[in-house]
Structure 1
Amino acid sequence: MNSVSDSGAGVISPRIKQLALQGARKKRLDKGRIRLVVVMTVFFAVFTSITGRLVYMAVTGKPRAIVARSADDLPAMSRPDVVDRNGVILATDVRKPSLFAQPNRIIDANEAADLLADALPDISTSELRSKLASGKGFIWLKRGINEAEQQRVHRLGIPGIGFREENRRVYPSGRTLSHVIGHVGIENIGAAGLEKWIDADRGLIALREAGLSGERDRDNSAVELSIDLRAQHALRDELAEAMKLYAAVGASGVILDVTTGEIVALASLPDYDPNDPKDSIDLNALNRITTGTYELGSIFKAFTVAMALESGRFTMASQLDARAPLQFGSQRIGDFHGKGRVLTLPEVFIYSSNIGSAKMALALGVDHHREFMQKLGFADRLRTELPESAKPQFRRRQWKPVESATIAFGHGIAVAPLQAAAATAALMNGGYLVRPTFRKRSAEEARALAPRVLSQATSDAMRQLFRLNVEKGSGKRAEVEGFLVGGKTGTADKPGPHGYQKNKRLNSFLAAFPTDKPRYVVLVTLDEPQRTPGAGEATAGLNAAPTVGKVISRVAPLLQVAPRIERLAGSQPALALPAVR
């Protein structure tokens, strides 16, 4: 029994053996199925990704992600909008496509270059071949292409060629503000004017060097200027008309708020289109208001008279003998259409006497004169937001008497016209030298920054003299009824290689309005204006002065200066001209 039992326990049933084999086979099949599903899933994901990328590129012509290898490969940086004081857009970014290549993916560089040269005739085949054969991972072929060019290239279907949208700068007002706004280069980096200043003020260059160029990487708020585009258009328009009327080679002008120092308008002709700034390198297209320095002639007599009154040694009743020229060795100082008699101080101003002006300066001494000019800012470069500014030609060493005498009537010293406008604002606003700005600024902010260079009494007297010159002197043609315009003419012979040129002049008119309570200074210069038919001379009183009058008649209503008929309050006694023989 025991032997039988032991023998039966060692026998495996065929049925059990079959079930064990089926279980092992099932496990292997399950593992195979899992592996197959995983492989198919991975394959499907890769296939979907490639298909999606091809469809995206076919539809848009753009790669989904191309890694820039350097700052030069980055798309053009985004920039903040620039608006005028009323919120009108002066500069903004738009998105435009640019053409790039991945040379390391180009199969045949020569063939690709030939095809692209046909589609882009402004790029040479040799240049394209050089770029496409470089083997680089990324290279720009053309920045800012137009729609037609994009379509032609797209139809070629060349692998390794694509498009990327970039920021392109647009200036809706075109030439109107070119010397203020400036322009940018191909990378959308500021190259001139306020665009260059914005880069430094907002730190845009540092961001780009760090590989950041998008809107999220910087302060995106608009840059608000003090410029009024309406006044700017009027100023530029009148300058262009004056250039044509008087056949001048150039013209410039500025409108300055005497209290805040805000530059409301600034124009210089010839100018250029910042949307296509190729003409910006022309020397004739420089910003004459801030970059050029000029001997401005008789408008400097305003500063000489102010110095004399401020000294306390001269009054409105002072008299100066202008009967004979002044002689300094071989140099003779006389008057243009002189009266040949003793003049009162107001007459020296309105008759623009070189002799009388020189005598005032000499009476105060050369040191006093030089120090007063320095106090008005004429010894130093005038810094504003514009990076383009000229250093004045100012002799810091000891002046000779003859130098003081000529500087008294605007020769022997050359400054930027904006410096003269800023100094004149001090003559009109109670004596505060306010630094000009292209940003909006309140009167309180300006006053806190401005040193006082003149007394209120001297400022009051200069306002009266400015008005008197338009009423009775050389500035009559600047008169605009109801706006109490005052000002001073300047007709300066331009210096040449062999002395002053009698047939080439820089004519200026420096105005303020309204003179009972001045709000704005207006300065206009005309470079080498010609005599018009019927005019005896091409003097500032005959061309620059009427140009300023036209500017004021157009901008005064825009700047909310109301016209009025009444005379300057309390001016009659001070402005009386005693008959001196």
Structure 2
Amino acid sequence: MRPRAETVRLEGHAKQAIETGRNRLILAGCLMALAFTAVGVRVVELSALRDHNEPGVATVSPDARLAVGRADIVDRNGLLVATSLRTPSLYADPQEVLDAEDAAFRLSTVLPGINPAETAVKLASDRRFVWLKRNLTPREQQEVNSLGIPGLHFQDEWKRIYPQGSLTAHVVGFTDVDDRGIAGVESSFDDVLRGGREPLRLSIDLRVQHIVREEVARQIATFNAIGGAGVVMDVETGETVALVSLPDFDPNIPGRMDPDALFNRATLGVYEMGSTFKIFNTAMALDSGTATMRSGYDATHPIRISRFTINDDHAKARWLSVPEIFKYSSNIGSVKMALDVGTEGQKAFMAKLGMLREIAIELPERGRPMVPSPWRPINTMTIAFGHGLSVSPMHLVSGVASVINGGIRYSATLLATDIPARGERVVSEKTSHSMRQLMRLVVEEGTGRKADTPGYLVGGKTGTAEKAGGRGGYRQKSLISSFVAAFPMQAPRFVVLIMVDEPKGTKETFGYATGGWVAAPAVSRVIARSAPLLGVAPVDPESPEIRRDLMIELPAEGGKRLASF
């Protein structure tokens, strides 16, 4: 038996051990309670108090793994013109940054465009989230990581990439930093592209687009012009095969875009298109029945009205037949044809062609025509030869396609279609056939000879218009020089327009900067290069069938009547 004193001592040790264990359990419980409290506070902060616009890291669901950003945009042949790539963006939690000024300086050494002073202010703020730079390259992300600065984080975002660069700039447009479309079809189809999986297929053919851009740029450089535009349209569907406006821009580098380069001359700019409007004036007269191919008008003397005088640039000073008025681009004859139709008839015809409202094409950049109000007889006279009514080049192309394709107007479109388009009749088949003959005559014998392209039976019309100036006048040395053509004229498939803005004459053109010298040669080159790509085979223009279809017999010089044919 143990002594009583030893027993008491052992019981004391046991009580002390029990007390120590209990204290440790209480301490452990308190620590666990504190930990759970901290986690709970953090959950509340993230779910209820934090700004939901800030990026966060979350478990990626199977659906999210399938997300591909905006849908691709492709040309009519499936070639890529716009796509989306995942890129890291850099943001910071200023509360975690130890030294704002040092961090800002170090970031500026590896990230171009970072302003150290502005970044230091951001990093020293009391916010929990600030963007520092969006859409970094992999190399930039690696270099930022290597700095080892606490408080910096990355968030994956989508960046829009344009593999064709400036080639399709005015058609495709671009997106902002948040991947929202703000120009071109990126804007027009923003909702479709943001929620789509299938590529958006355009009517543009990149091969033809490249040819047109190259030829327009060549004429701008040759004639020291300020800009230009080019359009190719399928006359049977209204599909736009090429649409170019120069100067243009690279949508891959937003923020470096010149305002002039952003301006779409093909669809947003509106101009008085000069003598190309004689296509519409002549079709109007023929279709209304006030003139026939055998009709003639006295173009001996200029027309004087009020303080204005209407002359012919290539004056013959005699009676001219309708084909001669078109061939020689007679302003006097065109005015008299328009007056026979009348002001109301002219206005109704222009409305039917779509010349009095915005062109229905899938771009936000569309110009509203400048229409005379009130529409008086003097306006009827000037519109007859392409002044007093301003439209976009796309208006002109769409109208010409309607006149020469058999007389059916199709809506201009930038989307490829496999379904035959539905159109509305604007002129009779007979009028359409006569206009094909007249346009071919201009290229064979008139002001458009330089547009002739062996094997492709080109027909067209020149246009040279002075640009409007201040106080209702015109700037004589500021021209819009254009040529609009169709081919092949025995069965038209495509319309081509080249327009050059403010060209200057050269030694080779004897100082002239008219549509026949400036735009017609470019049209010829575009057709020669693109026709094989578009599946248009060359033909023999001297074949009896074609000669019979397109032949026009003109009266002898000085005659007042058109010979029978």
Which has more radius of gyration?
A: 1
Aligned residues: 512
Kindly indicate whether the alpha-carbon contact (under 8 Å) linking 2:234 and 2:240 is maintained by their aligned counterparts in 1.
yes
Tell me the equivalent position of 1:109: 100
What are the Cα deviations for residues 448-500 of structure 1, in whole angstroms up to 9, with x where unaligned? Answer: xx221111111111111111111111111101111111000001111111521
Query: Aligned residue for 1:162?
Result: 153
CA distance in 2, matches of 1:503, 1:83: 41
Which residue number in structure 2 is paired with residue 5 of structure 1?
Answer: none
**Cα shift at 1:121:** 5.6
- Could you report, residue by residue, the CA deviation over 1:498-533 in whole angstroms, capped at 9, with x for unpaired residues? 521221111010100011111100011011112121
Residues 73 and 140, structure 1, Cα contact 8 Å, conserved in 2: no
The separation in 2 between residues aligned to 1:108 and 1:77, in whole angstroms, is 38
The answer to which of 146-155 and 86-95 deviates more is 146-155
Equivalent of 1:369 in 325, 346, 361:
346
Cα distance in 2 for partners of 1:248, 1:273 equals: 21
Correspondence list, 1:501-512, <5 A: 501-512=475-486
Residues 74 and 200 in structure 2, CA contact (< 8 A), matched pair in contact too: yes
Query: Contact between 2:228 and 2:499, CA under 8 Å: does it hold in 1?
Result: yes
Give, as a single letter, the amino acid of the residue that structure 2 aligns with 1:529. P
**C-alpha separation in 2, matches of 1:326 and 1:125:** 70
Distance 1:387 1:77 in 2: 25
Could you tell me how far apart the structure 2 residues matched to 1:253 and 1:119 are? Answer: 43
Q: Which residue of 1 aligns with 2:84?
A: 93
The one-letter code sitting in structure 2 at the alignment partner of 1:552 is I
Question: 1:294 maps to which residue?
Answer: 271
Deviation for aligned residue 1:147 = 3.8
Amino acid of the structure 2 residue aligned with 1:399 = W
Q: For structure 1, which segment, 70-79 or 124-133, has the greater mean C-alpha deviation from structure 2 after superposition? A: 70-79
2: CA distance between counterparts of 1:278 and 1:570?
56
Equivalent position to 1:558, from 513, 516, 533: 533
* C-alpha distance after superposition, 1:279-322 (max 9, x if no partner): 43422541100010000000000000000000112111110111
Three-state SS of the structure 2 residue aligned to 1:158 is: coil
In 2: Cα distance, 1:429 partner to 1:153 partner: 61
The residue matched to 1:95 in structure 2 has which SS? Answer: strand
The 2-side partners of 1:480 and 1:107 are apart by 72
Q: Distance in 2 between matches of 1:375 and 1:74?
A: 56
Report the counterpart of residue 431 of structure 2 in structure 1.
458
2:454 alignment partner, one of 457, 473, 481:
481
Shift of 1:535: 2.4
How far residue 420 of structure 1 moved from its aligned partner, in angstroms, is 0.7
Q: Deviations over 1:228-279 (max 9, x none)?
A: 1001001101111111122221111000000110000110111111111334
Instruction: Give yes or no for contact 1:495–1:501 (8 Å, CA) kept in 2.
Output: yes
* More divergent stretch after superposition (71-80 vs 85-94): 71-80
How much does 1:106 deviate?
A: 2.6
**1:226 equivalent in alignment to 2:179:** no
**What's the offset of the Cα at 1:72?**
7.0
| Distance verdict in 2 for CA 1:284–1:118, change over 3 Å | closer
- SS class of match (1:179): helix
Offset, 1:162? 1.6
Give deviations 1:11-40, integer Å, cap 9, x for gaps: xxxxxxxxxxxxxxxxx9xx99xx9xx99x
The equivalent residue for 1:385 is: 362
Q: Secondary structure at the match of 1:287?
A: coil
Match of 1:80 among 63, 71, 81: 71
Matches of 1:489 and 1:74, distance apart in 2 = 61
**What secondary structure does 2:362 align onto?**
coil
**Letter aligned with residue 103 of structure 1:** P
Q: CA RMSD in A?
A: 2.9
In structure 1, give the amino acid aligned to 2:390: A
Deviations 1:99-125 (A, max 9, x none): 111223333434433433444363222
Contact 2:249–2:261 under 8 Å retained in 1: no
Give me the identity figure in percent: 44
Amino acid at match of 1:458: T
Aligned to 1:244: 221
Q: Does 1:416 align with 2:392?
A: yes
Greater CA drift, 323-332 or 137-146: 137-146
2:479 pairs with 1:515: no
Instruction: Give 1:137-148 correspondences, 5 Å limit.
Output: 137-148=128-139
Q: Give per-residue Cα distances to partners, 1:300-345, cap 9 Å, x unaligned.
A: 0000000000011211111011100111111000100211111110
Counterpart residue type for residue 329 of structure 1: S
Alpha-carbon distance in 2 for matches of 1:284, 1:573: 42
Give the stretch that moved more between structures: 551-560 or 377-386.
377-386
Superposed counterparts of 1:115-514, under 5 Å: 115-120=106-111, 122-202=113-193, 204=194, 218-395=195-372, 397-442=373-418, 444=420, 446-447=421-422, 450-498=423-471, 499-514=473-488
**CA–CA separation in structure 2 for the residues paired with 1:121 and 1:345:** 66
C-alpha distance in 2 between matches for 1:189 and 1:151 = 27
CA-CA distance at 1:139 after TM superposition:
2.2
Q: Assess if the C-alpha contact under 8 Å between 2:459 and 2:486 holds in 1.
A: yes
Check 1:360–1:485 CA distance in 2 against 1; reply closer, same or farther (3 A cut).
same
Change (3 A) 1:355 1:121: closer
Q: 1:383 offset after TM fit, Å?
A: 2.5
In the TM superposition, residue 440 of structure 1 has moved relative to its aligned partner by 1.1
* Unaligned stretches of 5+ residues in structure 1: 1-27, 47-64, 205-217
1:71–1:264 distance in 2 versus 1, CA, 3 Å: farther
Q: Is the 8 A contact 2:55 2:155 kept in 1?
A: no
Partner AA of 1:262 in structure 2: E
Quote the Cα distance in structure 2 between the aligned partners of 1:546 and 1:245: 12
Q: Distance in 2 between matches of 1:200 and 1:459?
A: 40
Q: CA deviation at 1:226?
A: 0.6
Distance 1:121 1:577, change over 3 A: closer
Task: Measure the CA separation in 2 of the matches of 1:548 and 1:354.
Answer: 24
